[in-house]
Amino acid sequence: MAATNFKDYYAVLGINKSASADEIKQAFRKLARKYHPDVNPGDKTAESKFKEINEAYEVLSDPDKRRKYDQFGQYWNRVGTGGWSPGAGAPDMGGFDFSQYGSFDDFINELLGRFATGAPGAAGGGQRSYYRPGTGSSGFGGGFNDYGGGFNDTATTATGQDLESALSLTWLEAFNGTQKRLNVGGEIITVRIPPGVKSGSRIRVKGKGQMNPYSRQRGDLYLVVELQPHSFFQFDGDNLLCELPIAPDEAVLGASVEVPTPDGSVTMNVPAGVRSGQVMRLRGKGWRTSKGDRTDQLVKILIIPPANPSAAEKELYEKLRTMRSADPRSQLKQVKL
């Protein structure tokens, strides 16, 4: 490091020259949390400060580098023990055994306890995460959390964030399945919609979510289905429900009527004496399921009188009224509080 670029690493970390190793580590952690780019997105000043903190800690946390720094100041990295000079091979590490580490980065990782807990393959652990000073925009691999008790950075190997988006479908598209061309962040993708989805169904599109800027891996995209309103069908749990209007004479005498279903009309026998509001069941004529079978279609009967009866119809209804033997409200005479 040139003399003109000399930095007071003790001042950078806000500590005295007599600070212990633990005090150096505590000061570094405190400042790293404060200036980490993930905590200060888009703040170039914080990013620069964070790199400076990393640089200071790399020197002062190493006993040999710290000794040289204290002795030679701005020229600390131009000298070494045993006659070492730049380009002459690895320097003497002052008796500290670094052979167990692949690099100084690995040493920092272990020092900060930044490995995931648990053995490889065990539930909740086994994934290593890395501290990499000088790489990327932040100096760390990515995600920065656990501000209270230390670092937990796995973003160098983690995928990006999952995304969620609503997908509007017609009932025909949802019943039969379809393909949709979607614009995801400027990328046109084709998504296959399986038969039988309903409002609230989630369709996973793997690898089309947000990209992790450090690992360059993408999360998943989840499409949440929203069915457009239908004029005849609605859901009753997994079954379909519809309302079937019938005429008064059909209710009295019974009738065979055509009932729409998702895949065409079927004939249903309405029994004589059916009541308005009564529900009949068409088995296996409802919605598709993920297993490939069908639920039921529930048919709610509505007895609808003619809105504008003809003169002949009125005459017949008058005769029916005079001839009617049953009183549909007879039981109401006994109602009391």
At residue 294, the pLDDT reads 97
The one-digit pLDDT tens for each residue of the chain (337 residues) are 344 467 889 999 999 989 999 999 999 888 988 888 878 888 889 888 888 898 889 889 989 888 888 877 766 676 544 433 444 444 444 445 545 555 555 555 555 554 433 333 333 333 333 334 443 333 333 333 333 344 444 545 567 788 899 999 999 999 999 999 999 888 899 999 999 999 999 999 999 988 887 778 889 999 999 999 999 999 999 999 999 999 999 999 999 999 999 999 999 999 999 999 999 999 999 999 988 899 999 999 999 999 999 999 999 999 999 998 888 898 898 899 9
Give the burial class of 123: count Cβ atoms within 10 A of its Cβ; 0-12 exposed, 13-18 middle, 19 or more buried: exposed
Q: Read off the pLDDT of residues 79-126 as tens digits, 9 standing for 90 and up.
A: 544 433 444 444 444 445 545 555 555 555 555 554 433 333 333 333
| Residue 90 DSSP one-character state | P
Q: What is the CATH number of domain 1-158?
A: 1.10.287.110
What DSSP assignment string belongs to 162-204?
A: -EEEEEEE-HHHHHH-EEEEEEETTEEEEEEEPTT--TT-EEE
| Residue 288 DSSP one-character state | B
**Helix pair 44-60, 104-112: axis angle to 10 deg:** 100
Rounded distance between C-alpha atoms, residue 51 and residue 137, angstroms: 9
- Phi-psi map region of 7: left, alpha, beta (phi>0 left; psi -120 to 50 alpha): beta
| Residue 75 DSSP one-character state | G
Whether 163-227 shares its CATH topology with 234-323 is answered yes
Cα distances (Å, whole numbers) of residue 9 to 54, 58, 65, 70, 212: 10, 10, 12, 10, 32
Tokens of 319: 């005769």
What's this model's pTM, rounded to 2 decimal places? 0.53
Rounded distance between C-alpha atoms, residue 12 and residue 58, angstroms: 12
Q: What is the CATH number of domain 234-323?
A: 2.60.260.20
CATH class of domain segment(s) 163-227: mainly beta
Rounded distance between C-alpha atoms, residue 120 and residue 244, angstroms: 61
Q: For the chain, what are the domain ranges?
A: 1-158, 163-227, 234-323
